[in-house]
Amino acid sequence: MSKPTISEVLPRGTLQRFGIAGGFNTFLFWVLWELLRLTPLYGDSNETLLWSLAWLGSSIIAHFVHRMFTFDGRRNLRTTVLGAVSVYAVGMMGSTLTFDTMLTMFDHLPIRLLFFINIAVWGLFTWASMRWLVFGYTNIEEE
């Protein structure tokens, strides 16, 4: 009896596989955000600008992580990069607006809790958009 492969346990395109890659991407985003909060930019700007900068930086890495691990590379790189940039741009605008709103409405809650709530909500949007719009993922067996 052979051990099941990762693709048998976690098929490409599934929310679970996206969650693993997304966890890695979110960790990178969080580290970048925390590092930006240690720079002089933090004193000269606000949390919303730092959120946007961290989102932009981590989105570039996230596209390639999802291309290699979550989905697959069957579609043309140019097509997936352009699609991912569009999805991440909408996600950046939406998540920045909701993050900024949450900072105002829920200022009594810890900022890192707001960070994780916002990431979870926008992560679902990103998964659905990347799966169907960017990578055009279907259940076709891997070649």
Sequence-ordered alpha helix ranges (H) in 66-142: 77-105, 111-129
Structure tokens at 64: 């390639």
* pLDDT tens per residue, range 74-96: 888 888 889 998 999 999 899 98
- What is the arithmetic mean of pLDDT over 48-62? 87
The 3-class SS string of 27-62 reads HHHHHHHHHHHHCHHHHHCCHHHHHHHHHHHHHHHH
Quick check: 142 pLDDT over 50? no
User: If we measure between CA atoms, which residue out of 134, 114, 142 comes closest to residue 10?
Assistant: 142
